[in-house]
Amino acid sequence: MTKKPVIYSKPALIAKLKEISAMGFIPNARRGNAGGIGNTLEDLLGIKENNLPIPNAAEWELKAQRLNLTSLTMLFHIEPSPRAIRFVPQVLLPKYSWAHQEDGKKYPRGEMSYRQTIHGNSRSDRGFKVVIDRKERKILISFEAGSVDIRHKKWIEAVKKRVGLDELNPQPYWGFDDLEHKAGTKLLNAFYVQAEVRIARKKEHYHYTKVMMLQKFSFEGFLKALEEGKILVDFDARTGHNHGTKFRMRQDCLPTLYEKQTIIL
């Protein structure tokens, strides 16, 4: 007999999450610890992965995360404009790259790298920064040779020979409308659940201690998080492969990306 899927109203889901929190530490329900925090919560709720069975479910999702997480969370991939130029492989790699650390080892001799994680709060040690132009409604990548750290003296000399030391021309960018649409489709209304983690007998155990209901994505909140360095742009390319341009988020940032935050626990 097929088990009938669980259907929750929002009040019923809130009550169930409070009940789960009251259970204290719960062992990881899956093999291996990767993804265990979300999978264990889904099992406790009796729901399928990434399927939150409440009214208007297409607009809601369940996000589970460990407390005190220091790593960045990937939000989405999106390459910069102008689209007529494949900016990372055609401009950044040939003109602004440096020798890959695995050059001549894991990768062929001459392998170059362009890996930068940047934001709008300050420039990177290689002079790159995110700049938000509200008048033109663009998020731009900027380069300033005068901000390059002395450690990269040889690299900046190479850049000068290749392309000069002026601002990027053209500058890669994302239009507000494109980025708001992309972010809005990824950052749905969410029940955001955080858990304390401890390990016993090599197995993770989770205590789901914090729950927030996050509603209505705020693009202005997204822009502000970029300016404050809470959301970062991550370039990850080498001569042989562009791994894609990603927007990543610091752990404490998620609630600020919504207009309404309701603390449940």
Average pLDDT of the chain? Answer: 90
* Per-residue model confidence as pLDDT tens digits over 183-204: 999 898 999 999 999 998 888 9
* Per-residue model confidence as pLDDT tens digits over 141-171: 999 999 999 999 999 999 999 999 999 999 9
- Plot region of 3 (φ>0 → left; ψ -120 to 50 → alpha; else → beta): beta
189-200 and 60-66 strand pairing: parallel
CA 12, chain centre distance (Å):
30
How many Å apart are CA 195 and CA 86, to the nearest integer?
Answer: 41
Q: Which residues contact 142 (CB under 8 A, 6 or more apart)?
A: 128, 129, 130, 131, 167, 168, 171
How many Å apart are CA 254 and CA 222, to the nearest integer?
Answer: 9
Q: How far apart are the first and last CA of the chain?
A: 36
* Dihedral over Cα of 34, 35, 39, 40: its sign: positive
Q: Which of 76, 96, 74, 247 lies closest to 171, judged by CA?
A: 96
Name the pTM for this structure: 0.87
Checking if the pLDDT of 232 tops 70, the result is yes
